[in-house]
Each structure stands twice: as structure tokens, then as C-alpha cells.
Amino acid sequence: MQNALIRLADCAMAFDGDVVLDNINLEIRDKEFLTLLGPSGCGKTTTLNIIGGFKKPTRGDVFFDGVRINDVPPHKRHVNTVFQKYALFTHLNVYENVAFGLRLVKPKLSEAEIERRVTEMLDVVSLHGFERRDSSSLSGGQQQRVAIARALVLKPRVLLLDEPLGALDLRLRKDMQNELKRIQQAMDITFIYVTHDQEEALAMSDTIVVMDGGAIQQVGSPEDIYNEPQNAFVADFVGESNIVDGTMPQDGVVEFFGRKFKCLDGGFAPNEPVDVVIRPEDVDIVPPGAGVLIGTVTNITFKGVHYDIIVDFHGFKWLIQTTDLSPLGAKIGIKLDPDCIHVMKKSKYSGMFGDYSSYSAEYDDISDVSVGIDEDTDYAE
Amino acid sequence: MQNNRAASKFRTALSKPSALSAPYVGWLAVFVVAPILLVVVYAFSKVPSPVYYLTRETGIVETVTRETVNAELQADDSLIITVTTEDGIAYPESPENAISLLSQDNTVLVVSRADATVVMTVRFEGGGFTFDNFGGVWKSAPVFLRSFWLAFISTVICLVLGYPLAYILARETRGIQRAMNMLIMLPMWMNFLLRTYAWMSILENTGLLNRFLSIFGIAPLHIINTQTAVVIGMVYNFLPFMVLPLYSVIVKIDRHVIEAAQDLGAGAGQVFRRVIFPLSLPGVLSGVTMVFVPAVSTFAISKLLGGGMSNLLGDLIERNFRGNAYNLELGSAIALVMMVVVMVFMYFVNRFGDGTEGAVMM
């Protein structure tokens, strides 16, 4: 690709025989907002550390602007990092934190130049007037902004962000998402963002790289990732999905639960077994008589905007999101439009996700966003 | 956020005086305030001097100063005491007339004269406010200078030796950290005097060190009974107190902060100078305090290794409290002045590290 700024070629990483990264090939375009998304231990932070220069891949090459940079130390790369827990210099005030990198620039910058750039950068992150504040006296969101300003003041071509919003509360996290997107556009540089939070990834990114088990599962725009997941892992990790076993008798027709449905996918071998994804919000609830499938409501959770209901179709339970409340135990029918059905090739993840039969346990897992922050960053220790 | 709120609630609860704190207040009063109070009181009190009261049946007739009382131990272990009053009358007029009795508490002497019996009472009378003791402290100014100078040198050497050790230690794997911590602590579990005696036998003119050197034909070094030996002893004894606080601070420095500095363009030297050292300053201050303060007031080391040639404050105070030069008031005054000087010193040391948290102050 012509405009790839960073290229990872066959990168692999192992610690003491544990494979953390397995053959990563990735191209990152200039000025894009790219997110590495995946659960703890999926290798996303290791990938970031390889780009940042804090870790060397055991195999494979890293190219920056076409030049191999495997052996270039972190401080000689045109890359700066915003660390997970801010990693501010607590012995310095806000101004000196931001000026830290500028004071190391050779040839030495004049004090006036440093002041101009620090002030400018504090304006960008909306911290005007905080210059003399003690860095440890700031709130989490403010510390995060200092960390961003500190990294951006050096005008890197790429900014790496390692779960920067992980320690903030939900409200602040939403604000900072918009803020980060705005800063990225204002600075007009590449952001590489690591997170396990799919909402964050969908909201901010130009490109999302979904990772699991040290391998890339899918690369694409947020719409691609959400609407056209390539396997059960992606379908389950990004958003929520009901995944059922099916077959493809022919292009545009998929069969599951013993019925044939129209769909928009094709390109499979005749009668090839497939995974069928139906997003909970795509299901239309209709009176039992009018439905293609009829099931029983077994659980209702009020979520504010909608209800999460669990519907039992002959032993297989689906999650359906609806604004119309059907009482517990009611029989309901559902209708599926062709564009609501997404067909995927079978993968090693088939059968592992997308079944709400063991509803409560899995539900707890997926709604607890804060589970497992920072676990994979300490892999090397 | 919720955690923070819970934590701050917990802190407010702790900051309120409660019944739980009563024993600690009592403890503070008894073990912290009382000794200091005693030292202050003694430091400003007059040194008791003996006052002799000569009494006849009619009551006190005169008091005499010590200079006029003369006691002579006779061959048969009896004591002949003669007293000359200010008007020149001596009791007894001749030694043969004297019957003297030394009462058990050394305070009452019976002096007889041919014509009358005089009871002499000796009372040590002190008390009363005075600054005189501090005049005595001034006389030991050289000891002060020597003590602070040697403590200063020892502290600097401990810092220079201890910092790299603590730094390396903090970067090692957990198992090695444990083993090395153990090795550093090990001498501290041995008796202090024993350790110092061990150094005596190493540093002696015919000691282990010189015997070792002689193998290579190097002329013996004269170390024992010099200030060098005292400094060696102090460094040896107090090094763990430098290493441990340094280690505990350095080991807590977030790896990400160091990575952040590297990321912003700092090479190894700059990372140390601009990040690691400033962040370890609380540990440096604690270490300096914990080495300097005991080093100033140490006593046995100078006696054993310095051969009494380098008299230090600790020795001086010890002698004033339980030695030949028994003088509680002077000893207290010396201790008080030393405390004030150390406090001033620590104030400046802590000012130097202003804004750093977690330093052991005093």
C-alpha cells in the first residue's frame, strides 16, 4: 500500500515459550485513527509496545515510512505514547511535565520557544491556566490531558494511546472520547489506540483491528466490523450477537432451525455449514401468528433505552432488544429481514459465543467493562 | 471514584480523635515527651554542689563551702574530718579529739570538738534556673565539630555506596531482591557491640586486614584508633538504614514513568537525572536522616574503633551520665544542644526536598 506509515510484517512475540503475538501483519495509514481492540491478553498492548519500541518482536519486522525500525530505541522514533495510568512525572508541575520532552530536544530550544509550544499545547487539551498546578493535584481527566499534551508537544507523527481512558469514570470517558477525536483531527496525525472497550472503538476509530489470542481477527471500519463480522469472536466481542449454526443451500439463502431464510450473503460452497449472526436490535417482534419463529420470553432486563429480553426458541435462547415490553412467559413471534441476517464462515470460535442459554453468567461477563484492565500489559514480568 | 470516596471517608474517620487513640497519646506522653522534658529541665538546672551545715544543739550556726572541709583517710580506715569555718575556727582543734562518723547516706558527719559536739550535715543542693550548663557545652565545641563532621562524612559515604546498591536491588527479580535484602539485614540481627568488636579485630595493626595485605608485601596500614576507623565503623553499622528506605522508594517508581521519559526522548543518563533521582528524593532524605542522626550521637563505635582518641558527643554524654565526670546537667545541656543542631540540619535537608512526600522527617 502506498500510504502505509507503519507496517508490521510477520511480527511474532513470545515470552518464555508463551506465544503472545502470532504472525501479525498490519498496515497503518498516515493520519488515521486506528484502534487495537480485544480482551485482556490478546496482544494489543504488546503490539503497541512493538510500535513504540519498548519491546522488540522475537520475529518479524517493523517499518516506519518504509524504513525498518526494529532496532531504533523509543526516544529516536517519531512516535510518542500516552500511558495507561498517565505516568505523569509527579515531581514536576503541569508546565514542566509538558515541557519535559522539549527540554531534551537537540539543539536546545530557547525558553521562549518552549513556553510558546507548551502554552499552545495546553490550549489544545483545554488546560489553559493549569501551568503551575502540581501534577498530582489534578483530577483523572486532567491528568490524562496532561499526558496527551506531554506526548503531542513533540509533534510526533504517530501517537500511541494505551487504554488511556480506562481509569476514568463513564461520563468522563465519553467526554474524553470526543475530545480525543477532536485532538486527532486538530493535530492531523496518526493515533493508534488500544482498548478493550468496543463502544470506545466504534465511536472514535477510522479503522478497528480486532485481536484475540495474539492474532488479528478482523481489520475494518467500525461499520464493517459491526455489520460484517468475520467470525463468531468478532461478532460477539463487538456488540452483542445471537449466533446459530446454519447451512447455505445456495447464495442468498440460509437455513437454520430447520427453516430457510433470505439473506444478502453468498460465496459459500453448496450446503456449507456456517455461523449465522443476528443482532439483538435487528429482530422485529410480531404477534405469534405473524412470526417466522415463535418463542417464549424467559427474562426481561430494563436497560433504559430498551429492554433486553431473552427468548427461548425450542431450547436455544436469543437476546432481543426491544422497546415494546412483552410480559414474562408470553409467546411472541419474530420476523427477520434479509439484511438482518449475517452469515460467516465456520472458524475455531464457532460454537463458543452467541448463545444466551446460560444467560446470567455470560451476561455478567459482557456487561462488566472494567474487568481485566491492565492485565496484558504486565505480560513480560 | 467510589473507591476514592470510601477511602477519604476512612481517612476522615481516622483523623478524628477517638477512644482508640488514647493509649497512643499516653504512650507518647510517657516515652517521647517525658525524656525530652527531663533533658530540658536538667539542662537549665544548677549543678548541685555540697553545702555543709554545722549544727550545735542550738541549731544551725554556720554553713561552710566545700573548700574548707578536709577529710583524711587514716591508716585504720577511719576518716578524720576537719572543718574550717569562715571566721577561722577549726573543728576539731586537734585530730586526736575528732570522732567522726560517716553516716550511711554520706550526708551527715559528726564532728566533735573538745568542748562541744557539732553535727555537720552535707546536702547536695541544686535546682534553680541557670544558663551556666551551656557555658560547659561551649567548652566541648571541638567534640561537636568532630561529631558532626564524622557523621557528615559517614552519611555521604553511605549515600554514595547505598544508592547504587538500592537501585540495582530494586531492578532485580523478586527472588534476588529477597536474598539481598536478607544479606543487608543480616548484620543488624547480630549484636551491635559484637559487630564493632569484629571490626576491631579486622582493623588492628596486626589484624586481619594487615595480615592479608602483608601476603602481598604491602606495608601495614595504621587504621585502628584513628578517625578513619570510626568512619568505617559508622558506615558499616548504618549502611542498611540508607539502603532500605532508598530501596523501598525506588522499587515503587512506576515502570511506565521511566518508559514515558524514554518515550519523550530521554537517554539513560537523562532518565536517571530528570526522573529517577528526583522521584527517589524522599528515600534519600529518609536515608540521610536515618544515618546522620544516629551517627551524630553514636558512642561505642568511637570508643572501640577510635580508641577514645576521637571523643564524640555520644561518649561525652555517656560520661556525663554514668562516668567519672558525672554531671547530669551538663550532659543534658549537651544533648539538648545536639538535638537542636540536628533539628536545624534536618530542617534544611527537608527544605531541600520540599514538596516530596513520604520522607521521614524527624
- Across B60-64, B151-155, B273-277, least confident range: B60-64
Kindly state whether B260 is in contact with chain A, defined as any CB-CB distance less than 8 angstroms: yes
Q: Are B170 and B83 in contact (CB under 8 A)?
A: no
What distance in Å separates the CA atoms of residue B312 and residue B295, rounded to the nearest whole number? 10
**Mean pLDDT along residues A268-295:** 88
> Which residues are CB-contacts of A199 (< 8 A; sequence separation ≥ 6)?
none
Residue B263 has its nearest CB partner, among A75, A85, A91, at: A75
Residue B259 has its nearest CB partner, among A83, A89, A90, at: A83
Strands across the sheet with B79-84, in order? B69-73, B79-84, B90-91
- Across A177-186, B181-190, B237-246, least confident range: B181-190
Percent of chain A scoring above 70 in pLDDT? 93
- pLDDT-based confidence at residue B315 (cuts at 50, 70, 90): confident
**Mean pLDDT along residues A303-311:** 89
Taking only the tens place, the pLDDT of each residue in A64-94 is 988 999 988 888 888 999 988 888 998 899 9
- The reported pLDDT for the residue numbered B133 is 87
Q: Do A84 and B256 touch (CB under 8 A)?
A: yes
How far away is chain A from the Cα of B292, in angstroms, using its nearest Cα? 25
Left, alpha or beta for A173 (phi > 0: left; psi -120 to 50: alpha)? alpha
**Mean pLDDT along residues B330-341:** 91
For residue A101, the chain B residues in CB contact (below 8 A) are: 264-265
Question: What average pLDDT does the structure give for chain B?
Answer: 78
How far away is chain B from the Cα of A86, in angstroms, using its nearest Cα? 8
**Mean pLDDT along residues B330-349:** 89
What distance in Å separates the CA atoms of residue A164 and residue A179, rounded to the nearest whole number? 12
Select the more confidently predicted residue: B64 or A113: A113
Residue A193 CB-density burial (10 A; 0-12 exposed, 13-18 middle, 19+ buried): buried
Q: Do B256 and A91 touch (CB under 8 A)?
A: no
Which cell goes with B145?
Answer: 565539630
For residue A54, the chain B residues in CB contact (below 8 A) are: 259, 262-263
| Cα A140 → chain centroid | 22
Q: How is chain A split into domains, by residue range?
A: 4-78+156-227, 242-348
How far away is chain A from the Cα of B346, in angstroms, using its nearest Cα? 21
A-B Cβ pairs (cutoff 8 Å, strict)? 66
Q: How is chain B split into domains, by residue range?
A: 49-125, 132-352
Q: What residue of A is the nearest CA neighbor of B274?
A: A100
Q: What residue of A is the nearest CA neighbor of B171?
A: A381
What distance in Å separates the CA atoms of residue A116 and residue A110, rounded to the nearest whole number? 10
For residue B266, the chain A residues in CB contact (below 8 A) are: 75, 100, 104
- pLDDT-based confidence at residue B128 (cuts at 50, 70, 90): confident
For residue A87, the chain B residues in CB contact (below 8 A) are: 254, 256-257, 259-260
Inform me whether the pLDDT recorded for A35 exceeds 80.
Answer: yes
Interface test with B, best of A46, A79, A85, A89 (most B CBs within 10 A): A89
CATH number of A4-78+156-227: 3.40.50.300
- The reported pLDDT for the residue numbered B96 is 47
Inform me whether the pLDDT recorded for A374 exceeds 90.
Answer: no
Kindly state whether B1 is in contact with chain A, defined as any CB-CB distance less than 8 angstroms: yes
Residue B128 CB-density burial (10 A; 0-12 exposed, 13-18 middle, 19+ buried): exposed
Find the helix or strand (DSSP H, E) in which B102 lies: strand B101-102
Assigned architecture for domain B132-352: Orthogonal Bundle (1.10)
Interface test with A, best of B4, B5, B253, B263 (most A CBs within 10 A): B263
For residue A118, the chain B residues in CB contact (below 8 A) are: none
Inform me whether the pLDDT recorded for A37 exceeds 80.
Answer: yes
How far away is chain B from the Cα of A65, in angstroms, using its nearest Cα? 19
**Mean pLDDT along residues B332-355:** 83
CATH of A242-348, one of 3.10.350.10, 1.10.1060.10, 3.40.50.300, 2.40.50.140: 2.40.50.140
Kindly state whether B265 is in contact with chain A, defined as any CB-CB distance less than 8 angstroms: yes
Q: Do A87 and B356 touch (CB under 8 A)?
A: no
Q: Which residues pair with A18 in a beta bridge?
A: A15
Residue A23 CB-density burial (10 A; 0-12 exposed, 13-18 middle, 19+ buried): middle
What distance in Å separates the CA atoms of residue B359 and residue A206, rounded to the nearest whole number? 48
Q: Do B274 and A100 touch (CB under 8 A)?
A: yes
Residue in A351, A358, A359, A352 with CA at minimum distance from that of residue A309: A359
- The reported pLDDT for the residue numbered A216 is 93
Question: What average pLDDT does the structure give for chain A?
Answer: 86
Which cell goes with A107?
Answer: 539543539
Select the more confidently predicted residue: B358 or A38: A38
Kindly state whether B356 is in contact with chain A, defined as any CB-CB distance less than 8 angstroms: yes
For residue B275, the chain A residues in CB contact (below 8 A) are: 89
What is the identity of the amino acid at A278?
Answer: I
Inform me whether the pLDDT recorded for B75 exceeds 70.
Answer: no
Q: Do A104 and B257 touch (CB under 8 A)?
A: no
How does strand B79-84 pair with strand A316-322?
unpaired
Q: What residue of B is the nearest CA neighbor of A83?
A: B256
Residue in A21, A29, A374, A28 with CA at minimum distance from that of residue A196: A374
Number of H helices, E strands in chain B: 15, 8
Q: Are A169 and A97 in contact (CB under 8 A)?
A: no
The interface predicted TM-score (ipTM) is 0.74
